[in-house]
Structures are given as structure tokens and as C-alpha cells.
Structure 1
Amino acid sequence: MHDENKITDYDENKITNYDENEISNYVKDINKPKEDFNKSKKRKNRGMRTFFKGVAFVLIAAVSGTIGSYVLVDHKFKNIESFKQTTNEKDKNRNIITTSSQTWGDTINKVAKEVGPSVVGVSNHAENFYGSQLKGSGSGIIFDKNGYIVTNYHVIEGASKITVKLSNGKTYDAKLIGSDPRTDLAVIKIDGSNFPAAKFGDSSKVKVGDIAIAIGNPLGDEFAGSVTSGIISAVNRKMTVGEAEYKVLQTDAAINPGNSGGALCNENGEIIGINSLKIGTNKNAEGMGFAITMNSAKGIIDSLMKYGQVARPELGITGASVESRDGKIKGVGIQSVIPGSGAEKAGLSSGDVILEFDDKKISSVEEIRSTIEKHKIGDKINCKIYRNGKTKNIKIQLSDSSKINSTENQIG
């Protein structure tokens, strides 16, 4: 343990601890030169210690400064690198957004340029006391270079004269090749050749979220060739408007009156649907446009080109869903039977109720139609009917719709 009464002194050869009495005796015996020499020695040693302390301070300061500078520079360097990385990421994101926007815009530009010339205006003229008057207008798509055009049936319905206006402004008279009210499709033709023809796509490959581009003449010639874009909102929709049935694609691309018969395109410029109708005007629903799927339209178009009408299996009745008050009788009540149809030949009559069709209980017109679609012309279908309080089983042979006097509102 350290003794506070002892003082440590410096000697050339050793360091010795002395108490106060020893110091006094030592001072008396030592001579003056020795004392002066020791004092000089001590001053020199103090100077050396001061010098070394100064050097040590400078070295420590230098090392500390170097370390501090390194830490500071390293910190700043890391901040700079972090800033650069963040900036690069932001630039990259901006580039992605810009590229995405440019790609979307470029796609629409490309499709509009490629498909636009094949989309035409179709006008429906009717004769009256004052002569030929414009009844309405819509759009159409040239699908064959020899002037064949597909449009909606309701666009040309009841027309005494049909005219077609191309994207270059030229107008042609057109003739009706064939129509199918049930699917709201019609084929017309203008004279000439080498017309710009659109390419049909495969609508079965369309997915929700795909780009959808609509081209047509909304509100007439004044807005001819209008292009709107959006996405596919839904696929495989089935809709019934009046007695017409639709297999449609749903899109949020704007489809307005006059767009009917126009093109709904994918990003490759292929026609994936024929714009047909828009709902929502009286239901406060926006962004709901519909187009007949191209795959369902292809067979109709081919049939109209060959026969002027669609050959499909037909039952040959009109009717509606019915149900007795007690709920025991439920099915489709027959309102009328088409002359020459399989239903007439099988003995069906007005007032009968179809309880089962193709060995399945049914309660709606749609169920009968869906069943018929799975069969072909000439197939025989088992049917159970209710008549005058009794049930009866009969077989009905499906007719060829092109050979009977089909009506727009018949079931099938």
C-alpha cells in the first residue's frame, strides 16, 4: 500500500523511498556541487519528460485525427454510396414506369394503325314517305380482302339500304349476305378487292387483366375511328338481351352507341371480340362494355358466308318458365310450336309443360338451350311433359334451324 508520508525521488542509479528524517540527514551531508548537479539533472529530466509528453500528445493527436478522418470519410463515403444506390433505384423505378407507359402507348398506337383501316362505319337506311332516311348507324370489321364485313344484326335490322364508309372516307353500297338474330351477328359485302382485312384471334386465350383496345364509330361518322383502351374485366360471360344470347368478354374500354359491330383487339392487333352492347346507362354502372367472343362468332360467320343463315339444332318451340302454386309442377311452359319442327312432329302443343329434358329436370329456358348446344342436328332427346294433369314421355328429334321458319324468340 502506498504511504503518504514517503516521497519518491529520482537517483541516477536507483529510485529510493525516504521519510522526512532521512531526507534531512541526506541534505546536511551532501555537498553543494552534488546538490547543484542533482538540481540540474532534475531540471533536465523534467524538460525531457515535457518534450516526450509533447511528442506523445502530437502523435496521439495525429493518430486520433487519422482515425477520426477515416471514420468521417468512411461514413460520408457510405452515405454517398447509399445516396447513389437510392438515386439509382429511383431512376430505375422511374425508367420502369416510363418504359411501361411508353409500352402501353406504343401498343395502342401500333394496334390502332394496323387495325383502324379495317374498321368501317355501317349505316342503316329505311324507306318512308320522304324517301330513304338514315335509321341508325354502327360499326363493322372487314375480315376478308374481297369486301366481306361482319357487324351486329341490330345495326342492319330492317334496313332497305346499307352503306359502308371506309376509314379513308370512301362510301360503298353494301348487300346483306346473312344474319343471325339469335347471336346478333350479320355479314354484309361491298364490291371491290384488296381491302384491308383484320385478323381474327383466339378469344379462349384471353385472360382477365389483358390489354383491350376498342375501335369503332361511336355516335356516328363524326367520331369515326375512335380508339379507346382498357383491360379485360371478365371472360366467359353469358348474357341474354331480349331473346338474343351472347357469349361475351367484359371490358372497361369505353363502348358507346355506334361502337356496336366494331373491333375489340388484343395487344397483338388481333380481333378477340365484336363490340356489341353496353349496359349501365339506366343502372348507373360505368366501365362495363361487352364484346361477342371471337371464337363463338367464327362459326356463325362461316355459316352466314356459306348458307346466309346459321344451321344449328332446334327444338322448335317458344316458351317460358312456369311453376304451379303448390310448387309440385315446375318446368318450361310451351307457348307456341314452330311448324315443321321436331317438336311439332313429336306432338308437342301449346300449354304443355316440359318437366325433364334429356333425362334431366329443368326449370328454365336457359337449361334447355344449354342442353341443345351439346347436341347436333338429328339427335333424339328424351323429354317428359305435363299435360292435362298427367305426365308423358316422348322423344323429340332436333331440327335443322336453316330448314324451318325459325323465329327470333324461339327457345332452340
Structure 2
Amino acid sequence: MTAETDRLPRRDVRGRDSKFHRLLVSGLLLGGLALSGVQAQDTPLTAQKPAQSKSSAVNTPKPLTDAEKQTLKTLFSKVRPATLRIEQCDNKVPGACDEPDGIGSAVLISADGLALTAYHVVEGASKLSAQTVDKKRYAVEVVGYNDQDDLALLRVSVPGGTPFLPIASARPSVGDAVLAVGNGGGGFLTAKSGRLTGLEADAGPGGATFPPGTLQMSAPLVPGDSGGPILNVKGELTGIVSYISISREKGPASFAVPVTASDARLVDLRAGKKLDAPIIGIGLNGTFRSLVTIDATDFKQISELLKLGDTPGAFFTSVNQGSPAEKAGLQPLQLNDRNQRVSGDIVTEVNGKRIINFDEFQYTVRSYKPGDTITLTVLRNSKPLMVKLTLIGRSQTGR
């Protein structure tokens, strides 16, 4: 379950609040960064803004009542047989699934074995296996996916009569009690409960990859719960777990992609559509990952050390081979032995839209589609340069 370098992370990640972020920036400056020879690497662990909700947030949700707890406990016993443990392994090879390459969750939504999960759970997997509540394993096929919204539809070779869950016809409301079922923390199809604390949540930097209606919950989800169902008290599916954020000030928050029975995305998934998110092929790696969301003031502080120039913008430390960025000649940041820039582009605009940092760069790129041509305004050696490139889908990278 790997991450692409210029994709906003949809994994279970740790967030940093603004106070901690500033301490981090100060620490980097005081420590001189020690970044000579930084190697590019793909990872989901990037700095995040604290989770916010654009509407109807409940900062401190009321604890579940005893009646609600009992309702959800009873519900769990009914819905658990329709949930799945998804493993990246070949179940035809003896012992291969004893230590799978990745673990996630899913939920069956039809009598013929269709199941929903988060796309990042199955992304890039050569072999997939689904385990049902009786610990039996079954083959998995990816029918369709929506990379941008982190949804995937699977066909699982479960036997006829395996339970499945209905999809809610209406959106939930803030304050609703919710039940999650997943495989986080070494568990096997375990229950976690809480309240819906926000709609239209902005979970990641800029919320670039989060669809309208994103659900925020107080349920204490952890890695491995991704792809599992969020259920209302009727046992109806209202969301698919996608993301967690941890803030020192606000604590953990969990997020889910909303789904309803009339969701047009489900029609596309059932039709077998595989919709990629656009990328250009750049990365911000190593210690620099902590600078993904720096503002103009922080940029100037960092620039005093790294000699990035006076104009804030997005810098990057790697360019993927064969990517649009490489073909367009974009230059990653290179430092000398004094941790000062000797080369490296600073991107200040995308199609005329001003950007300040790597986060905003990604956010803007993600508003386009694979095949679109965009124009970047780049500062190279302090001189403006216009660079055109055509976006590709992430699956075209072969990674």
C-alpha cells in the first residue's frame, strides 16, 4: 500500500497542528536540516494541517448513551458477516497470507459478491485476498476505482448467500451515532463506535482529494481500518473509511468518503470505470516532507538557510523518471555541502493561480484531469519561466 510522491496522502497518517508545525520549522532551522544527500522516497507520512470541518462541526461530541451503545453492539453482531479483511497476498500460495504485504477492510454490498473499499487499500496490489468472518479466504478482482475520491469496487468470490449490507438512501446528520468495522491495530473485523462530528470535512492539506460531503467522526480508527464501512444505527452503509488525522491539540479524528444509494460514482464503478487522479511526477521527500504546508513567513525563514530566493512557492526534491515533470525539464532542489540551494525550480503559479507551497501545488493540480495541459510559472535562477506539461494518470507511471 504505497503512496505516490505527488499525490495528497489518503492513507492513515499523522497530522501536525500549526503550533507543533512552527516548532518543527524552528527545529529544522536550528538543526541546519542536515539534509545533504537526501534521497527521494515515496511515503504517506507527510505533514498535515489539523482536521477542520467546513460545516456543522461538533468539537466535543457527547458520549454515546448506554442505549446507543447497546444498539450498536447488537448491530455489530448482525453486520459483521458482511464485512471483509482485505490482504495483499496470493491465497493460492500456501502461507503467502500469513504475512500479507498490506491489510485493509471492505464491506459487501450485493448478493453477487460486490464489495466497497478505499482505493488506497488495493492500489498497486498484484494479488488480493478477502477473508470473511469465518476466516476463509477468497479471490478478489478490482472491478473499478475512483482514485480521486479513494473508492474502489471489488468482486469477491464468496459463496452464494453471504450477507451484504444496504447503502443508505439519505445523508447522515452531525451527531448521529456511527459504527465502524475494520482490521486496525491487529484486530480482525472489530467494532469501533462514535459520533459523526462533521460534514463537508477538510481532512488533508487543502482537502484536495476529499469529495463533497466527507464525513468526520470521533470513532478511534487506526491503520488497517481503511476501507471499512461506516454504518448508521439502521445498519446502512453511509461511508467508507479513508483517512485519520492526529493533532496534539485536538486529538485523533477519522474521516470517511460518503456514499449513498443514488451515488453516481457507484454507477461508474459498477460499469468498470477506472478513474485515475492526475500527477506530474514530483516529490517532496525526507525531512522536507515536514514543509509541505509552510506559509509565506515560514518560506522566508527556510529561505534564509537554503537560499531559495525572496518569492514563496512550491519546491520539490525529486522528479520521477519518464514523468511529465521530467519531460518538461523541471529541476528538483539540489543543495551544496552547506545546505544551500545550487539549483531547483520554485513553482509560483499553475495556469495563473498563485501558489505558496507544495500542498497548494498538489491541490491545484488535482483540480484537473489526466490529459489536461497546464502551464506552470517557475522561478529558475530567480528568473521567471513558463513551463507547459500534460498531466497523466497515476496508473500510467507503472508504480
TM-score range, shorter chain: 0.5 to 0.7
Q: Which amino acid aligns with 1:331?
A: G
Shift in alpha-carbon separation, 1:405–1:110, aligned structure 2, 3 A: same
Shift of 1:117: 3.0
- Aligned pair 1:348/2:330, yes or no? yes
Shift in alpha-carbon separation, 1:381–1:229, aligned structure 2, 3 A: same
Q: Which residue of 1 aligns with 2:295?
A: none
2: distance between equivalents of 1:336 and 1:393?
20
Unaligned stretches of 5+ residues in structure 2: 1-64, 293-298, 333-343
2: distance between equivalents of 1:147 and 1:118?
10
- Aligned pair 1:163/2:129, yes or no? yes
Give the alignment partner of residue 112 of structure 2, picking from 124, 137, 146: 146
Residue 72 of structure 2 aligns to a residue whose secondary structure is: helix
User: Does the CA-based 8 Å contact 2:116-2:153 persist in structure 1?
Assistant: yes
User: Does the CA-based 8 Å contact 1:139-1:262 persist in structure 2?
Assistant: yes
Map Cα deviations across residues 348-395 of structure 1 (whole Å, 9 max, x no partner). 343222111121221122222322333333333332111123111233
2: distance between equivalents of 1:217 and 1:356?
42
- Aligned pair 1:262/2:228, yes or no? yes
Q: Which residue of 1 aligns with 2:355?
A: 362
Give the alignment partner of residue 119 of structure 1, picking from 83, 87, 94: 83
2: distance between equivalents of 1:285 and 1:389?
40
Give the alignment partner of residue 254 of structure 2, picking from 280, 289, 293: 289
Equivalent pairs counted in the alignment come to 296
Q: Which amino acid aligns with 1:229?
A: S
Q: Which amino acid aligns with 1:396?
A: L
1: distance between equivalents of 2:379 and 2:150?
33
Shift in alpha-carbon separation, 1:208–1:386, aligned structure 2, 3 A: same
Structure with greater helix share of residues: 1
Map Cα deviations across residues 181-211 of structure 1 (whole Å, 9 max, x no partner). 88765554322555433333478x4432122
2: distance between equivalents of 1:153 and 1:376?
18
Give the alignment partner of residue 238 of structure 2, picking from 261, 272, 296: 272
Shift in alpha-carbon separation, 1:150–1:230, aligned structure 2, 3 A: same
Residue 361 of structure 2 aligns to a residue whose secondary structure is: helix
- Aligned pair 1:393/2:390, yes or no? no
Unaligned stretches of 5+ residues in structure 1: 1-99, 408-412
Structure with greater strand share of residues: 1
Identity %: 29
Residue 134 of structure 1 aligns to a residue whose secondary structure is: coil
- Aligned pair 1:174/2:142, yes or no? no
Q: Which residue of 1 aligns with 2:195?
A: 231
Shift in alpha-carbon separation, 1:194–1:163, aligned structure 2, 3 A: same
What does residue range 211-222 of structure 1 map to in structure 2 within 5 Å? 211-220=177-186
2: distance between equivalents of 1:374 and 1:137?
30
2: distance between equivalents of 1:124 and 1:148?
18
Shift in alpha-carbon separation, 1:377–1:134, aligned structure 2, 3 A: closer
Shift of 1:405: 0.7
2: distance between equivalents of 1:301 and 1:314?
25
Shift of 1:263: 1.0
Shift in alpha-carbon separation, 1:287–1:371, aligned structure 2, 3 A: closer
User: Does the CA-based 8 Å contact 1:139-1:260 persist in structure 2?
Assistant: yes
Select the structure with the greater relative contact order (CA < 8 A; seq sep ≥ 6): 2
What does residue range 5-404 of structure 1 map to in structure 2 within 5 Å? 104=68, 108=72, 111-112=75-76, 115-125=79-89, 132=96, 133-135=98-100, 137-152=103-118, 162-167=128-133, 169=134, 171-177=136-142, 187-191=153-157, 192-193=159-160, 195-201=162-168, 205-220=171-186, 224=189, 226-240=190-204, 248-256=214-222, 258-280=224-246, 288-294=253-259, 299=265, 302=268, 306=272, 309-319=274-284, 324-325=303-304, 328-339=310-321, 341-350=323-332, 351-402=344-395, 404=396
User: Does the CA-based 8 Å contact 1:150-1:301 persist in structure 2?
Assistant: no
Shift of 1:229: 2.9
2: distance between equivalents of 1:315 and 1:202?
37
2: distance between equivalents of 1:162 and 1:262?
16
Larger Rg: 1
2: distance between equivalents of 1:382 and 1:257?
37
User: Does the CA-based 8 Å contact 1:187-1:305 persist in structure 2?
Assistant: no
Shift of 1:245: 5.6
1: distance between equivalents of 2:325 and 2:127?
36
1: distance between equivalents of 2:223 and 2:348?
41
Q: Which residue of 2 aligns with 1:53?
A: none
1: distance between equivalents of 2:81 and 2:145?
24
Map Cα deviations across residues 144-179 of structure 1 (whole Å, 9 max, x no partner). 432233334665678776432323x16133235277
Shift of 1:122: 2.9
Q: Give the TM-score normalised by the residue count of structure 2.
A: 0.58
RMSD: 4.3
